[in-house]
Amino acid sequence: MDDTKLATALSDLHAARVAEFAERPFIEALARNASAGSLGERGRSAALLTLKRYGRSLDASGGSEEASAALSVRTEGERFLLDSPFRLKDLCKRVQGARWDSGHKAWTYTASPTSAQNLVAAFADHQLTGDERFNDLLSESVRREDAQGLKDATDLDPIPFTKGTPWLHQLQAYHFAQQLPSAMLALDMGTGKSRIAVDLITNASTKKTDAGEPFRVLVICPKSVIGVWPRELGLHAGLPWTTCAPLKGTVAKRTEEAKVAYDSPNERVAIIVNYEAARAAAFQTWSTKVDWDYVIFDESHRIKDGQSKTSRYCSKLTRKSDRRLMLTGTPLPNGPLDIFGQYRTLDPDIFGRSFTAFRARYALMGGYGGYEVLGYQNEDEFNKKLYSIAFRVSSDDVLDLPGEHDVTRTCVLEPKAQKIYDALEDEMIAQINDGVVTAANALVKLLRLQQVTGGALHDDDKNLTYVSTAKAELLADIATDLPADEPIVVFCRFVHDLDVVKGVAEKLKRSYGEVSGRRNDMGADAKMPAGIDIMAVQVASGSEGIDLTRSHVAIFYSLGFSLAQYLQARRRLSRPGQTRKVLFLHLEAEKTIDGAIYAALDDKQEVVDYVLTKLEHSK
């Protein structure tokens, strides 16, 4: 499809969505209440903006005079109190979350944008007035409705402060999330979630920094992603950021580093911490006492279990943050109930704070003791609530995403492993446990260094010793964040790397297959069998003659020094028969030869000469 046809198609889709929204009962009710002047000045202004966007004007009738009644809403704490005539009691009952408060002699509802919207829609034929808090929350609900129209829009303003040119779906996601105090970007891996997040926090910062006030962001993510965020900010942010991403030391020490960064005079500070460290007592106590302008939960499905300590900690940040953003490619890894823990933190008013009530509303329970999920119910309502603040994109839906997309993920070797690595690099000899490893020449040294980054190597007596789990943990993190039913290909160089991949598959309860000099689990047609979740492929054995197009995700755990084998490995997935865009992930141990190897392959240069030159110049 050429650019002109694509633009026309998207424009038609957007027009259809606008027409659909213009006929919604909420929009009808908004027109009548704005005409009657019952929304207050602030609510009326927000309503006018939405009505204009959907081509509606004010309703001159102001509703049915015959049935019209005067109602008022006031806010006390976290509840709306509705004063209404007795004859409307049945209508009051039908509004979601209704409870009768005998003390106040009024119907009450959770004070939330959803409740404000429900009340306006329910009493569309009456005169409904609200206090300032009600009108503020109604304005937010209007913004949610308005934001839906941005999901398919093509006539969007450019992002003020950014670097480079975003893809269309990134621009749509940016404008959608910018409208909301809390949003989820449910985008597949490789579709650029981090860039959108960087643009959001950078442009949100200007209102405070222009007034001379500091802007503070907390990013909570898997440990393997901590190093990604400073790079993403440097790559995409249109304004300067100070980052604090401590990885070493106790949690107490890292918390002290975060405090220093938070209290610094720098305008924009992003503090990046992994989920496990964030929930620890030292960091949790401090982070829930200070205020945050933005909190980002990267790979937010990690907090899907609302009963877990991590999820409970994250929910405490809701009241300590002005805005919240969740990033995930798998928002519902096991089913709809997985959203509860995430939305309790993101916006607890949408699905509530009670998992028992949430489960009763959306799951059909049965089986032994009534604790088995037999199916789901109220799915249309569930989806409407979910996507009221969520933007969903799969890699196959993104028309301007390249056919192949490369992503580098990094890890840091443990101090002991780094010491072994440095000794081999500098002295060509290292002590491991009771054995000694020597490198007789430059080529052997490269092999040994690469083995260390993979986690294991043989000493001079042929004894295999595992020296690091950093890259194995990185692989497990990535596999965890991919859908369980998504087949994955992992390319390795060494036999012990294959064993590591097998161990990761077993830990994640994924079925394992292998193509190597010792076994071949490919089908009779040389294709990846349907029963294998993770297929480990030794590059020298499986770079030619096999078809891996069942998968569209390939991870390079380790690589040989042959450019031809590397290109052949890529072609096992990116070839005729592949129906999806292919994501290639490269695992790299920081401060090792991994980076030089990938750089040489990317530049299509002779790897050995390139890497040796890099090592020589680094001394």
Q: What is the DSSP letter of 225?
A: G
Q: What ranges in 3-131 are assigned the alpha helix state H?
A: 3-22, 25-36, 40-53, 89-94, 113-122
Closest to 384 (Cα-Cα) out of 121, 601, 198, 190: 121
Residue 539 · residue 493 · CB < 8 Å? yes
Q: What is the DSSP letter of 46?
A: H
Q: What is the DSSP letter of 158?
A: P
User: CA–CA separation, 505 vs 598, rounded Å?
Assistant: 25
Backbone φ and ψ for 286, nearest 5 degrees, come out as -70, -45
From start to end of 292-401, where are the E strands? 292-298, 321-328, 363-366, 372-376, 390-393
323 DSSP β-pair partners: 294
Residue 521 pLDDT class (50, 70, 90 cuts): very high
User: CA–CA separation, 149 vs 137, rounded Å?
Assistant: 20
User: CA–CA separation, 449 vs 561, rounded Å?
Assistant: 13
Q: What is the pLDDT of residue 96?
A: 81
Of 244 and 617, the structure prediction assigns the larger pLDDT to 244
Q: What is the pLDDT of residue 14?
A: 44
From start to end of 142-229, where are the E strands? 182-187, 215-221
CB count, 10 Å around CB of 257?
A: 16
Q: What percent of the chain has pLDDT over 70?
A: 86
**Chain-wide mean pLDDT for the chain?**
87
Q: Which pair of tokens denotes residue 13?
A: 């889709």
User: Beta strand 456-458 with 464-466: parallel, antiparallel or unpaired?
Assistant: antiparallel
Backbone φ and ψ for 297, nearest 5 degrees, come out as -110, 100
- Reply yes or no on whether the pLDDT at 127 is more than 80: yes
Q: What is the pLDDT of residue 40?
A: 59
Closest to 287 (Cα-Cα) out of 326, 247, 315: 315
Residue 434 pLDDT class (50, 70, 90 cuts): confident
User: CA–CA separation, 29 vs 123, rounded Å?
Assistant: 8
CB count, 10 Å around CB of 311?
A: 21
Return the SS3 of 236.
helix
Residue 409 · residue 189 · CB < 8 Å? no
Q: What is the pLDDT of residue 20?
A: 44
Element (H, E) at 364: strand 363-366
> In the chain, what are the domains?
3-147 (no CATH), 156-397 (3.40.50.10810), 404-408+468-618 (3.40.50.300)
- Reply yes or no on whether the pLDDT at 157 is more than 80: yes
- Reply yes or no on whether the pLDDT at 67 is more than 80: no
Return the SS3 of 203.
helix
Tell me how many degrees the CA angle 269-274-278 measures, rounded to the nearest 5.
Answer: 85
Closest to 71 (Cα-Cα) out of 102, 100, 106: 106
Q: What is the mean pLDDT of residues 100-125?
A: 90
Least confident of 46-50, 57-61, 345-349, 487-491: 57-61
- Reply yes or no on whether the pLDDT at 155 is more than 60: yes
pLDDT in tens, 217-276: 999 999 989 989 999 999 999 999 999 999 889 999 999 999 999 999 999 999 999 999
406 DSSP β-pair partners: 584
Chain position carrying tokens 């009952």 = 93
Q: What is the pLDDT of residue 455?
A: 95
- Reply yes or no on whether the pLDDT at 8 is more than 80: no
Residue 1 pLDDT class (50, 70, 90 cuts): very low
Residue 477 · residue 274 · CB < 8 Å? no
Amino acid at 219: V
Backbone φ and ψ for 456, nearest 5 degrees, come out as -155, 150
- Reply yes or no on whether the pLDDT at 559 is more than 70: yes
Least confident of 67-81, 178-192, 432-446, 509-523: 432-446
- Reply yes or no on whether the pLDDT at 150 is more than 70: yes
Residue 163 · residue 236 · CB < 8 Å? yes
Q: What is the pLDDT of residue 433?
A: 74
Residue 293 · residue 321 · CB < 8 Å? yes
